């Protein structure tokens, strides 16, 4: 009796003999290290970005299975993509410089737009392979019994328990790089490159080819793998990873961060002689009678208004901030000369709300949608020393002035929004004007008061 054909028999000599044999699955080999996480057996590994993207999925779509994740926040993922792309660009620039290769002006421009920071890294992804341990192929590593080689089929996916936004961000960058080297165009970058860049130059294309090669072949994703979890266990793990952590305070985060250009400017401002005798605190509360002038995050919020007319420094880019620094220094040189500026009991201007209003007026004049130009900005700065910032100036308590009292300030109403009466500004406590915590309200009222007192024309 003739034995059945073994499709892998080395004696097979023709394609016709083996054409009927088709592998049922694609496999990937994953080298892992055993770990014991609070009594749970887990495995630690890393995969290249391309393999991770093809072998992983997120449980936030009911069509794919039970929901074990939050909905995707696309804006958050895009911000992460910018961070990844910044790290990649600076890495490739460093490698090329080390190899003596030129960096084109186009790439220098992209790098300046993205900015840099002292260090780049990210925390591991947490993933779950839902198959039972008995269904996962494994090979022992003789040289190290703590390590194993997993043989995963294509359908033995890594369900991302923590890190879905990072996963999407890695994919956004990969798609952009592939499109860029294919079409040689900077299209739909989502803020990865300056908007005015359209065509990839001949000088820059080799850089992007290298960037794509490094990104797909050498950049890796660290993963903490869990196995055989039921849906309830996966949901519990998601909860614990995202709810049992204490968030870093905004002030401490800004004290450590050296990547945000506004934060960098604020730290330089604190170190400048203008603020040499002023106490800025990273954390805690700044009470009315404490010796601290303000918190770091409050000073950053003022600069967010000054540079970008935004409420926070989040998303600030060097390309938007750095060209405005010279004018920002002039602003602070003027503001810090206001009498009593560092004493809340002496000057209403010592409070963040009013400093934000001054910054907002300055921004509108120089960089707003209806910018009035540097000459008008200089006129405004020249007018600041003549403004009465004392607590006795009734206009700082405008929220509590009657219509009859406001009639004494002819033309003031043309400086204020129609619904300004609905906004919370502040009140007088023991003879001192104290602006409230709702700065998003006061920023709609106080800039108009400032322009009026500076004898500037109202905004159209």
pLDDT tens, 442-457? Answer: 999 999 999 999 999 9
Residue in 159, 205, 134, 130 with CA at minimum distance from that of residue 52: 159
Residues 260 and 123 in one domain: no
Domain boundary among 200, 217, 243: 243
Residue 9 vs residue 182, higher pLDDT: 182
pLDDT of residue 16: 62
Structure tokens at 155: 């359908």
Determine the average pLDDT of the residues in 176-191.
92
Judgement on whether residues 225 and 113 belong to the same structural domain of the protein: yes
Task: Report the share of the chain in percent with pLDDT over 90.
Answer: 70
Longest dimension (CA), the chain: 115
Q: What one-character DSSP code corresponds to residue 79?
A: H
Whether the model clears a pTM of 0.85, i.e. scores above it, the answer is: no
Token digits for 348?
């209403």
Does the pLDDT at position 275 exceed 90?
yes
How many angstroms separate the CA atoms of 32 and 147, rounded? 6
**Position 2 pLDDT exceeds 50:** no
pLDDT of residue 134: 85
> What whole-number distance in Å separates Cα of residue 427 and Cα of residue 413?
20
Long-range interactions of 387-393: CB distance < 8 A, separation 24+ = 387/450, 387/453, 387/454, 388/453, 389/338, 389/339, 389/340, 389/347, 389/348, 389/349, 389/354, 390/340, 390/346, 390/347, 390/348, 391/347, 391/348, 391/428, 391/431, 391/432, 391/433, 393/348
pLDDT of residue 372: 94
- 459 lies in some domain: no
Helix extents (H) in 230-339: 231-243, 250-256, 261-271, 296-308, 318-321, 325-335
**pLDDT of the residue at 32:** 92
Give pLDDT tens digits for 309-352.
Answer: 999 998 899 989 999 999 999 999 999 999 999 999 999 999 99
Domain boundary among 226, 243, 260: 243
Please state, in angstroms and rounded to a whole number, the distance separating the CA atoms of residues 208 and 39: 45
Q: What is the mean pLDDT of the chain?
A: 90
What is the average per-residue pLDDT within 423-430?
A: 92
List, in sequence order, every residue forming a beta bridge with 444; answer none if it has no partner.
Answer: none
Q: Phi-psi region for residue 176, left (φ > 0), alpha (ψ -120 to 50) or beta?
A: alpha
CA-CA distance, 322 to 319, in Å (whole number)?
Answer: 6
Q: Which two tokens stand for residue 337?
A: 């000369």
- Number of domains into which the chain is organized: 2
- Do 212 and 343 lie in one domain? The reply is no
* pLDDT for residue 387 is more than 90: yes
Which of the listed residues 222, 243, 264 is the one where a domain comes to its end?
A: 243
Q: What is the pLDDT of residue 189?
A: 83
Beta strands in 2-39 (DSSP E): 27-37
Once rounded to an integer, what is the mean pLDDT over residues 90-109?
95
pLDDT above 80 (res 22): no
Residue 225 in tokens: 């793998």
Shared domain check, 213 and 238: yes
pLDDT of residue 18: 52
- Return the pLDDT at 27: 82
The reply to whether 10 falls in a domain is no
Please give the radius of gyration of the chain, using alpha carbons only, rounded to the nearest integer.
Answer: 30
Q: CA neighbours within 13 Å on the CB side: how many for 383?
A: 17
Within this chain, do residues 224 and 258 fall inside the same structural domain, yes or no?
no
Is it the case that residue 280 has pLDDT exceeding 90? yes
Whole-number Cα distances in Å, 322 to 43, 317, 361: 45, 8, 19
433 has pLDDT over 90: yes
Among 372, 347, 349, 345, smallest CA distance to 359 is for: 349
Measured on CA atoms in the order 188, 190, 193, 195, is the torsion positive or negative? positive
Quick one: tokens of 367? Answer: 């960089």
Strand partners for 42: 35
Q: From CA 111, how far away is CA 113, in angstroms rounded?
A: 5
Query: What is the rounded distance in angstroms from the CA atom of residue 383 to the CA atom of residue 293?
Result: 24
Secondary structure of residue 393 in the 3-state scheme: coil
Residue 20 has a pLDDT of 56
- Categorize the per-residue pLDDT at 86 as very low, low, confident or very high, splitting at 50, 70 and 90: very high
pLDDT for 255 = 79
Q: 249 pLDDT band (50/70/90 cuts)?
A: confident
Task: Give the domain extent around 412.
Answer: 250-453
Does residue 263 form part of some domain? Answer: yes
Give me the mean pLDDT over the 78-105 stretch.
95
Q: Which of the residue ranges 114-118, 334-338, 407-411 has the most confident prediction, judged by mean pLDDT? A: 334-338
Residue-level pLDDT at 1: 46
Do 230 and 265 sit in the same domain of this protein?
no
Lowest mean pLDDT among 135-149, 157-171, 324-338, 401-415: 135-149
């Amino acid at each position: 009796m003739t034995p059945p054909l073994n499709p892998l028999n080395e004696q097979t000599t023709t394609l016709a003999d083996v054409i009927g044999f088709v592998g049922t699955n694609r496999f990937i080999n994953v080298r892992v290290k055993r770990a014991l996480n609070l009594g749970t057996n887990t495995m630690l590994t890393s995969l290249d970005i391309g393999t991770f993207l093809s072998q992983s999925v997120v449980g936030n779509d009911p069509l794919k299975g039970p929901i074990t994740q939050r909905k995707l926040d696309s804006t958050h993922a895009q911000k992460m993509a910018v961070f990844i792309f910044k790290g990649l660009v600076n890495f490739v620039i460093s490698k090329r410089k080390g190899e003596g290769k030129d960096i084109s002006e186009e790439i220098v421009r992209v790098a300046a737009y993205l900015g840099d920071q002292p260090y780049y890294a990210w925390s591991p992804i947490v993933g779950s392979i839902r198959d039972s341990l008995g269904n996962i192929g494994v090979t022992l590593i003789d040289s190290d019994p703590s390590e194993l080689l997993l043989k995963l089929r294509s359908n033995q996916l890594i369900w991302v328990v923590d890190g879905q936004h990072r996963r999407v961000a890695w994919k956004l960058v990969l798609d952009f790089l592939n499109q860029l080297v294919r079409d040689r165009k900077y299209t739909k970058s989502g803020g990865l490159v300056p908007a005015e860049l359209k065509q990839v130059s001949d000088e820059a294309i080799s850089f992007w080819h290298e960037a794509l090669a490094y990104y797909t072949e050498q950049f890796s994703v660290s993963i903490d793998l869990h196995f055989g979890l039921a849906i309830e266990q996966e949901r519990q793990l998601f909860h614990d990873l995202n709810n049992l952590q204490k968030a870093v305070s905004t002030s401490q985060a800004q004290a450590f961060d050296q990547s945000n250009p506004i934060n960098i400017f604020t730290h330089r401002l604190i170190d400048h002689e203008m603020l040499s005798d002023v106490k800025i605190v990273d954390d805690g509360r700044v009470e009315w009678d404490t010796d601290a002038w303000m918190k770091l995050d409050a000073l950053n919020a003022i600069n967010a208004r000054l540079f970008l007319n935004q409420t926070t420094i989040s998303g600030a880019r060097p390309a938007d901030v750095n060209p405005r620094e010279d004018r920002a220094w002039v602003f602070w040189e003027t503001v810090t000369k206001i009498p009593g500026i560092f004493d809340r009991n002496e000057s209403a201007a010592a409070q963040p709300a009013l400093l934000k209003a001054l910054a907002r007026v300055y921004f509108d004049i120089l960089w707003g949608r209806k910018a009035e130009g540097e000459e008008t900005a200089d006129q405004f700065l020249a007018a600041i020393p003549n403004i009465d910032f004392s607590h006795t100036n009734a206009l700082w308590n405008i929220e509590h002035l009657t219509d009859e009292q406001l009639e004494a300030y002819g033309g003031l109403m043309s400086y204020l929004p129609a619904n300004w009466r609905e906004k919370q500004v502040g009140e007088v406590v023991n003879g001192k004007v104290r602006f409230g915590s709702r700065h998003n309200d006061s920023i709609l009222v106080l800039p108009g008061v400032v322009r009026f007192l500076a004898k500037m024309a109202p905004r159209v």
